[in-house]
Amino acid sequence: MGKRSTIIIIVLGAVVALWLYRKYRVAPNLDVEHLNLKNVDGSVLNSKDLRGKTLFVNYWATWCAECLQEMPSIEAAYNQTDHEKVVFLMITDDSPEKVQNFLKNHPY
């Protein structure tokens, strides 16, 4: 195998690896016992406030096409639940500005 073939294989491998990472990336492990989440409005939600409630947790991103496709069904589920018993946590590592802009165009 020549030098050129080796370079092509390495580049193709890197492209495939990047595509697989973006498509199948797994949400990080979360220490839910000591978790503080920042709401879009800047207020902080402590995991201790969630004790005794059922949690629906969705790790999403503004750039994620699959995430955007599931938003309407998540909203439908949210509208059909008792909010005293079930808490929906939509977690992202996008900046607050990106989330605010997203919510302007997608009012979920």
DSSP string, the chain: --HHHHHHHHHHHHHHHHHHHHHHPPPPP--GGG-EEE-TTS-EEEGGGGTTSEEEEEE--TT-HHHHHHHHHHHHHHHTS-TTTEEEEEE--S-HHHHHHHHHHS--
Question: What integer pLDDT is reported at residue 80 of this predicted model?
Answer: 93
Question: What integer pLDDT is reported at residue 55 of this predicted model?
Answer: 86
Using an 8 Å Cβ cutoff, are 67 and 57 in contact? Answer: no
pTM over 0.85: no
Question: What integer pLDDT is reported at residue 31 of this predicted model?
Answer: 66
Stretches where the chain sits below pLDDT 50 are none
